[in-house]
Structure formats: C-alpha cells, structure tokens
Structure 1
Amino acid sequence: MADNDDIPFNRNFPLKPGVVEEVRPGVRRVLCDNPSPFTFTGTVSYIIGKGKVAILDPGPDNEAHAKALLDAVRGETVTHIIVTHTHRDHSPNTGRIKQATGATVYAEGPHRASRPRYESEKHNPESGADREFAPDVALAHGEVIEGAGWRLEAVATPGHTANHMAFAWPEQKVNFVGDHVMGWSTSIVAPPDGSMVDYMASLERLASREEELYFSGHGPEIPEGPRYVRFLIRHRKAREASILHRLGKGEADIPTLVRAIYIGIDPRLITAAGYSVLAHLEDLVARGVVTTEGDPVIGGTYRLAT
C-alpha cells in the first residue's frame, strides 16, 4: 500500500523479464513480464540447485515466461515444481512446466478460503485464486523436500492465502517466503481467502526462525529477514490502532475507514485496502473489541464495543 513509511521498503529491483540472474550459489531467479499495482515489476520464479533442480513458483499463465524458465535449465533435469500459494500470478504456469519436464508438483494443497463465505458475500474479485491447481504431493508444515545439493523445509505461513507456504533452506540461511513477506510493499490480506489472525501468527513464526535472507514472490531479496518481519508486525499493530482511533470518533463503514487511514493511496488499490481493513475488523470483532450488525463483511458498519 502507499503509506507505509514506517517499513524500510526497497523498491530498487532492476531485473528485466526473462533474464536469468544467479543471486547466490544454487539460487537463480527469472522475472515474469506481468507488472501491476499488485505484482510490482512482476512475479519472480526461482530455480534452486544445479543439475537436478527445483522450480519454485512457475508464475502466471504465460508462455513466454515458461519458455524463459525452460531455457534457463536447458541441459539440467527439473525434478521438483514447488508452489508457495495458489494465486493466479504464481501457480497457473505449473502445467506448462510439468508437461515439459515431468517434474513432481509440491504445495500445501489446492486453493481454499480461510473461513466459509458468509451468505451476504459475493465472490471476492481481489483474491485472484487459481482454483484449477492441485499438487501431486501435499505438504504439511515441517516436511522436507530435497534434491541434488539442496534441502527445503516447508514452513506453513497462512494469512495471505490459507494454503500459503514458505520454503526454508536452513543450511544456506535462506527462506523463499512467497507473498507472505515482500520487500517492496506489505502483503494484501483479503478475507475470506486471507486471515489477519493467521497472517500475524505466520509473521511471528518466521521471525522466530534462523533464516536471514528472504527471497520473495515480487521484488528484491530481503536481508535481515526476521528484523524486517518485526517492522511488518509493528506496522499491522499500528494499522489496528488507527482503525480503533477512527472508530473512537463514531461508527464507520469500511470506505470511511480507508479514507481516514490510507492517505494518498493509489486509487487502483482502494478495493484491496478495504479488504485489508476488513481483515483487521474480523479479528477485532472476534476479540470482542469491535461490533457490527450480523457477520463482519465488506459492506458492514462498525463501532467500538461498549
């Protein structure tokens, strides 16, 4: 979003689409040409290992990007395809890569919501869910997948989506964090696919781990990852405080809260900001701090609980 001056963002990411960049031994990255307000310069796919390799997050339904990835591993064997989560900018190219390589697909599972939809809710257009995706192997938190010279541990990080997973390479002090942590922006948490309670717990889980260098689904790598995560946790707590401050002046709907909190936001991100506010409100209602008539939904009006 636009107003996160409290987080040390880095928006310097000169990588060009289709170029293969080795960022450290055993880690290459390739940028897809799908820039947007939600994807920054595009989705970053990773090639892990040498000789017998894994491709992590093959990206959107994009033939040119699939070709760039396959060209990058020419003469090597792709043994694993790993997917952090099922948004349409991360998983749809899986089919192309699998067809070309015969590699086994690993992920937490198919797309699912963090909670059942309420009767009054329409389909959330911000979710961009890839509902066609299904892994060959469903991973649980703590499970390990390995190849020639690399070993990744699945780290459940729900919040951005219910099935989001990061993949840690403890020996290298590296973590592939998908969209859970990004160096250029905060993540969108949009109910019912996303959950603020889960997202905050997942941030705490990452912050307690040893990996220092984070490779993200969009934008540049993040040094001192756990320290950066602490900034994100503080930011979300400050966002919650801003919501409560505004509700202290009287009841409000979500558009009113967005106007009060997100000063100078890119107009294209207003809907997403509304869903992020809803994620906070769901949490606050569940904790009994805020009340609303009926279910906490995007069209609701909210007030402080007395």
Structure 2
Amino acid sequence: MRETSHVHRLPVSTPTLFPATTTNVYVVEDQGQALLIDAGYENPAAAEHIIEYVKALGIDHLQGIVLTHHHPDHSPGARALADFFDCPILSHPLEAESINEKIAPRSVTSTLNEGDTIPVGGIIVSMLHAPGHTQGHLNLWLEEERLLFTGDNIVAEGTTWIGPPDGDLIDYLATLNRLRERAPALIAPGHGEMIRNPLEKIDFFIRRRLEREQQILGLLQQKPASVTDLVQAIYQGQVHPSVIWVAERTVSGHLEKLLKERRIKQEEDLYSLM
C-alpha cells in the first residue's frame, strides 16, 4: 500500500513475536527505480506478492534489497527476491555473516556503513548505523520526506526486546536519542502501521526502558535476585510461557547495562546493588 509519494509498505505474514503477525517490507521508488527495505521470512506466497506489487508499479530497475538486520523475520526472504530481480543484497558488515547463513547459497553482495547513501531516481536514501536491537542494525533516512525506517528499533505496537546475545541496552538508548535528534515527520517501523507521532513514540520507548530499569533496581534493593526471580516478579501472568525467553533476555539486557555502569554487582547467578 502506498504510504507517501515515494514509499509503499507491504506487510507480509511471518513467524514473528506477538503482538506483531507481519513484517513490513518497504518499496522506496522514484522515476522508475526502486529500493527494497527488508524482505521478511522465506515465504513463497509473500515473495510472489512483493514481486507482483513491484512489477505493477512499473519499476524497471531495482537498486537492491537493504536488510536492517539478520533476524529470521526480516532477512531470509531476500534470497527469492534477489533471484527474481537479479539485484544486490545489502547489510551492515556486522550482520553479513548471520544473514549469509540464512540466505545461502546467496550472500550479502556488499555492505553499508553510517553515512552511505543509495540514489533512487531523484531521491537519496541514507544509512544510519543504529545498534541496540542487534550490533549491526541499520536504520534508513529519506530526507525528501523526513521519513525514518527503524527496523526493529521502534515498532508500532508494544516494544522491542533488547538483550543478549545480539542486543545492548546502552547502545539502544543512545540510538533512540540519535533518532530523536533527526526530528522525523514519520516513522516506518519493522512491524505495524506507520507511526505518525514519531517524537512521542520515541519518548515512550525511552521512558519504558528507564521505568523497567528502576523497577529492577527497586527489586534488587529489597534483596539479591537471579534473572528468573526478576522475570517472575515483573512478568508473572503478563506474558505467555512460549515467549518467556524474551522477558529473560530483556531482564538480562538491563542487568548487563547496570553491571557496565557499576550500579549493581553479580555473585554467581545472583545480582545485588553495589
């Protein structure tokens, strides 16, 4: 579906995490050229839908497929799309190895870093290295429309999990503040509808992380606790058992941040205040 003069959003069914049920694939187009952002899960029906949509736009040249990060609800679909369009697959260098495992025998054609640009017709898409959810997460900026593609750093519903082995909460908060400084007019998230209150949404994500941090510190003030103890205290009855691992990684991410900041200490599996 067309969202702006240059951007189309294609939500494709994918095995992702609740509340999301789809992953957004974006088409950025101008003057008969286009760039795809993310590719979804490896799903023949989704690939056919994307291909037919791009063909219907009259696109005669696809600049490539930029993958925001390696997670399996964003990257494996690139194989079928690159085969059909005979176009490059692009990612940050820190994501390339993990993506290659998911798209073999294809591989990342070349890598993108902070400040790199891709021309699409008469418009320019710029790369932002935005670590947090993963180390090599890319966000993209379309100055023409002051539009920010955030991958999983910002999603439309709920929040995104940040924790080991990929995530780093210190990096993530720094990324959110950098994105806020861009003052986007619109956010195109990895999951869900377009976000039309960008600054309010970014502030919500920052506030939610800091509130969770204070909650963990409050629990540790009462007594030392393990990750399991903290997850039970915070999430009991709030998350389905099938995704309790997300809560565990989220808590672990907060604990890693607090350890790096020397605000807590660890003895075996127990954490306590300094």
Give the TM-score, by structure 2 length.
0.91
Residue 20 of structure 2, aligned match among 37, 40, 61: 40
Pairing 1:141–2:114 present: yes
**Cα RMSD over matched residues?**
1.8
Tell which deviates more after alignment, 141-150 or 232-241: 141-150
Matches within 5 A, 1:1-16: none
2:261 corresponds to which residue? 287
1:53 corresponds to which residue? 34
2:166 corresponds to which residue? 193
Residue 177 of structure 2, aligned match among 196, 199, 204: 204
User: Is residue 189–residue 196 contact of structure 1 (8 Å, CA) maintained in 2?
Assistant: yes
3-state secondary structure, aligned to 1:168 = strand
Pairing 1:274–2:248 present: yes
> What is the distance in 1 between the residues matched to 2:96 and 2:122?
33
User: Is residue 134–residue 166 contact of structure 2 (8 Å, CA) maintained in 1?
Assistant: yes
3-state secondary structure, aligned to 2:161 = coil
> What is the distance in 2 between the residues matched to 1:251 and 1:112?
39
Give the TM-score, by structure 1 length.
0.82
- Cα offsets for 1:215-257 (capped at 9, x unmatched): 0111111113123111111111110000000001101111211
> What is the distance in 1 between the residues matched to 2:259 and 2:20?
32
- Cα offsets for 1:128-164 (capped at 9, x unmatched): x645254222111111111113311111111101110
Alpha-carbon distance change, 138 to 37 in structure 1, aligned in 2, over 3 angstroms: closer
* Unmatched runs of 5 consecutive residues or more in structure 1: 1-20, 114-128, 295-299
1:302 corresponds to which residue? 271
User: Is residue 145–residue 185 contact of structure 2 (8 Å, CA) maintained in 1?
Assistant: no
Q: What letter corresponds to residue 149 of structure 2 in structure 1?
A: F
* Identical aligned residues as a percent: 30
Which has more helix, going by share of residues? 2
Q: Which has the higher contact order (CA 8 A, sep 6+)?
A: 1
Pairing 1:157–2:130 present: yes
Alpha-carbon distance change, 131 to 285 in structure 1, aligned in 2, over 3 angstroms: farther
Tell which deviates more after alignment, 225-234 or 235-244: 225-234
Q: What letter corresponds to residue 70 of structure 1 in structure 2?
A: I
Matches within 5 A, 1:7-156: 21-34=1-14, 36-38=16-18, 40-50=20-30, 51-74=32-55, 75-76=58-59, 77-111=61-95, 130=99, 132=101, 134-156=107-129
> What is the distance in 1 between the residues matched to 2:70 and 2:16?
18
Shift of 1:260: 1.7
Shift of 1:25: 1.1
User: Is residue 56–residue 82 contact of structure 1 (8 Å, CA) maintained in 2?
Assistant: yes
User: Is residue 207–residue 227 contact of structure 1 (8 Å, CA) maintained in 2?
Assistant: no
